[in-house]
Amino acid sequence: MAAPKPTAAGSAPKAGKAKAAGKEKPAERVVAENRKARHNYEILDSLECGIALVGSEVKSLRSGKMSLDEAYGRVKDGEVWLIGCDIPEYEKANQLNHQPKRPRKLLLHRREIGRFASLGYEKGLTLVPLKAYFKNGRVKVLLGIGRGRKVHDKRQKLKAQTARRDIEQALRGRRSG
């Protein structure tokens, strides 16, 4: 029986090849998140959509500068627009810079626009951007349909969270003790 041939250090099968063969979730890098949206609104449904940007806006986003705090979505003439979103000017773009608070078109399929348009016109519902992120090199916005919460609803939610946290801490204390 012949002895196995010694192999070079680099010729062993690589673990990376096995990962590449299987479908792997693409890396998402979050640029901005609207944390107040989940507090101020009861999110009923959400949808990922693209956003039409100019070059200096993308450069500014890659450096992590964007604010969704005052932003909302609006359906106008069969198109969905993101209004109130603040993308600050890119420092290194001199004359060819963009307007920081201009309305930006959201890219959706026609049937998705129809669904959002019908829900967007319903009384009490608002299109709220939840987060903006890079996915496969493209900027995506997670847009949610939300119903505004009243002050007493917010208080009830906070009380329920506090009660749940207290119960979990009590149970955790029993297990370890």
pLDDT of amino acid 23: 55
pLDDT at site 72: 85
What pLDDT, on the 0 to 100 scale, is given for residue 149?
77
How many Cα atoms are found within 13 Å in the side-chain-facing hemisphere of 44?
A: 13
Say if residue 119 is exposed, middle or buried (CB neighbours under 10 Å; 0-12, 13-18, 19+).
middle
Indicate yes or no: pTM above 0.75: no
Predicted local confidence at residue 19, as pLDDT: 47
- CA-CA distances (angstroms) from residue 135 to 23, 48, 98, 141, 150? 15, 11, 23, 10, 34
Q: Are strands 138-148 and 79-83 parallel, antiparallel or unpaired?
A: unpaired
Q: How far apart are CA 110 and CA 108, in angstroms?
A: 6
pLDDT at 25: 58
> Tens-digit pLDDT profile for the chain (177 aa)?
555 555 444 444 444 444 445 555 557 788 888 888 888 888 888 889 998 888 888 888 888 888 888 888 888 888 889 898 888 887 777 777 777 788 889 998 988 888 877 776 677 788 889 988 999 888 899 988 888 877 777 788 888 888 888 888 888 877 665
With vertex at residue 52, the alpha carbon angle to CA 48 and CA 57, rounded to the nearest 5 degrees, is 110
What is the b/e burial string over 121-143, where b = at least 16 CB atoms within 10 angstroms of the residue's CB? Answer: eeeebbbbbbbbbbeeeebbbbb
* CATH topology (fold) of 28-149: Small Protein B; Chain: A; (2.40.280)
